[in-house]
Amino acid sequence: MYTTSFPVDRLKDIPTPFYYYDLDLLRHTINTMKAEADKDSYHIHFAVKANNNPRILGIIAEAGLGADCVSGGEIRMALEAGIPASRIVFAGVGKDDWEIELALDSRIFCLNVESAAEMKVINDIARRKGLTAPIALRINPDIDAHTHDKITTGRKETKFGINIGLISDAMELVKESANLKLTGIHAHLGSQITDLDVFRALAERFNDIQDFFEDEGLPLQHINFGGGLGVDYVEPDNCIPDFAGYFNIFRQGTEARPGQSLHFELGRSIVAQCGTLIAKTIYVKEGETKNFAVINAGFTELIRPAMYDAWHHIRNISSKLPPEDYDVVGPLCESSDVFGTDRSINGITRGDLIAIQTAGAYGEVMASQYNARPLPKSYFSDSI
Ligand code: LLP
């Protein structure tokens, strides 16, 4: 149990809204995760899309993690943070030519390819450069992740990965492509997965798939299971995810070959807990049936509730008054600009600081300037 506490005396003078990162909690989460992953020398590539704040990436790099990137921009950020190219993987259904060139020129570990069309382009670009491109086939294993529809990626009707029925064709294409070297297979089922059986199904599906590759004379040096481990949004103090349970599933379920490396692309489970969006209450608006706490952050700062119906714990860190029910809403001219409804929160008055917790993943990175709002700044526990 790690109890989150906020240094209100130091936070209260910072212009709101802003992201506050508890770096001790980040390091504690990384160390807990690594202790489990290191037992089997698993390779962890932090999913940069979850948080690309340079300070956070620096700590990830220091801890020796690799990076999972989905754009040329993310590859650059990972390299700048000090993550070696040899630990970078690159996924995405729509890699543009310049991004493929950057990946090849940087000599990253592997490109996770998602279609025959993409394989042909990578092969052409690699040939032009006189290089061999290391690739993994991203397979769409057709497994339901039992998570929100908008963050489900491993069902066959989604745009991601190569469908199981098309793997044979993809293998033929690999064999014909002189400038591609197939080093592994990859999948990513979705995000905020809390039903760990989903990962067991993936390990089993990959056992069959790897037999199939070996029968075709294509042994695999690595297997990449993607990311997706969910976090507890409801109880932020119980905030270290069950890394042991998660890795155990792969330890028990995967028929790894001697010398083969197993890779994971965790994003949310590493950074969600350490980040909090702090906003100030502008008004407490009394309605006929509800009280609204109108704060100075909106979905421009944290889009997850509006976009995925996400639930974040909301606290009033300025008040010890008895709790009352509020809808906590932002200032934007959109009815989806709501952080939580009917929340029991310590009595709110104008000026109180409101903490929206577990916002370190897909929070700051997804901020926008809609309504001509400035992007939020970030502050860190060791330097405020
Ligand atoms: N690998 C790939 C190929 C991915 O597409 C993702 C996330 C990850 C790894 C990392 O997954 P994680 O461990 O973070 O679950 N914006 C949404 C989440 C989108 C996830 C996109 N892909 C949200 O706020 O819930």
Cα of 362 to ligand 1 centre, how many Å?
Answer: 8
For residue 235, count other CB atoms closer than 10 A to its CB. Answer: 11
Check pocket membership of 187 for ligand 1, CB cut-off 6 A. no
Check pocket membership of 47 for ligand 1, CB cut-off 6 A. yes
Measured by CA distance, the residue closest to atom 3 of ligand 1 is: 188
Cα of 298 to ligand 1 centre, how many Å?
Answer: 22
> CA 177, 181, 185, 190 torsion: positive or negative?
negative
What is the atom index within ligand 1 of the atom nearest the CA of 91? 3
Q: Is 382 helix (H, G, I), strand (E, B) or coil?
A: coil
What is the atom index within ligand 1 of the atom nearest the CA of 267? 14
Pairwise CA distance, residues 318 & 352, whole Å: 5
Is the predicted pLDDT of residue 283 greater than 90, yes or no?
yes
Pairwise CA distance, residues 125 & 303, whole Å: 37
Measured by CA distance, the residue closest to atom 20 of ligand 1 is: 191
* Helix 243-253, helix 197-215: angle, nearest 10: 30
What is the atom index within ligand 1 of the atom nearest the CA of 112? 3
What local confidence, expressed as pLDDT, does residue 5 receive? 83
Check pocket membership of 91 for ligand 1, CB cut-off 6 A. yes
Smallest CA-to-CA distance from 244 within 2, 38, 46, 63 is with 38
Pairwise CA distance, residues 278 & 276, whole Å: 6
C-alpha to C-alpha distances, 108 to 137, 222, 264, 368, nearest whole angstrom = 16, 15, 16, 30
Give residue-wise pLDDT tens across range 168-182: 999 999 999 999 999
Measured by CA distance, the residue closest to atom 16 of ligand 1 is: 362
Measured by CA distance, the residue closest to atom 7 of ligand 1 is: 191
- The tokens of 225 are what? 């299971």
Q: What domains can be seen in the chain, in order of their start residue? A: 24-270 (3.20.20.10), 273-380 (2.40.37.10)
Give residue-wise pLDDT tens across range 341-369: 999 999 999 999 999 999 999 999 999 99
Is the predicted pLDDT of residue 311 greater than 90, yes or no?
yes
What is the atom index within ligand 1 of the atom nearest the CA of 193? 15
Check pocket membership of 267 for ligand 1, CB cut-off 6 A. yes
Pairwise CA distance, residues 112 & 114, whole Å: 7
Give residue-wise pLDDT tens across range 52-101: 999 999 999 999 999 999 999 999 999 999 999 999 999 999 999 999 99
What is the atom index within ligand 1 of the atom nearest the CA of 153? 5
Check pocket membership of 311 for ligand 1, CB cut-off 6 A. no
Check pocket membership of 362 for ligand 1, CB cut-off 6 A. yes
User: Given pLDDT bands bounded at 50, 70 and 90, which one contains residue 2?
Assistant: low
Check pocket membership of 266 for ligand 1, CB cut-off 6 A. yes
What local confidence, expressed as pLDDT, does residue 237 receive? 82
Pairwise CA distance, residues 141 & 132, whole Å: 27
Of 265, 277, 339, the one to substitute when testing ligand 1's pocket (max ligand atoms within 8 A of C-beta) is: 265
The number of angstroms, rounded, from the C-alpha of 208 to the middle of its chain's C-alpha atoms is 27
C-alpha to C-alpha distances, 112 to 93, 101, 118, 161, 187, nearest whole angstrom = 9, 14, 10, 9, 9
Pairwise CA distance, residues 354 & 6, whole Å: 11
Q: Is 223 helix (H, G, I), strand (E, B) or coil?
A: strand
Classify residue 361 as exposed, middle or buried by CB count within 10 Å of its CB (0-12, 13-18, 19+). Answer: buried
To the question of pTM greater than 0.75 for the whole model, the response is yes
Check pocket membership of 308 for ligand 1, CB cut-off 6 A. yes
Pairwise CA distance, residues 338 & 87, whole Å: 39
C-alpha to C-alpha distances, 66 to 121, 256, 263, nearest whole angstrom = 26, 21, 10
Give residue-wise pLDDT tens across range 127-151: 999 999 999 999 998 888 777 777 6
Of 191, 302, 364, the one to substitute when testing ligand 1's pocket (max ligand atoms within 8 A of C-beta) is: 191
Cα of 228 to ligand 1 centre, how many Å?
Answer: 6
- The tokens of 267 are what? 């994003």
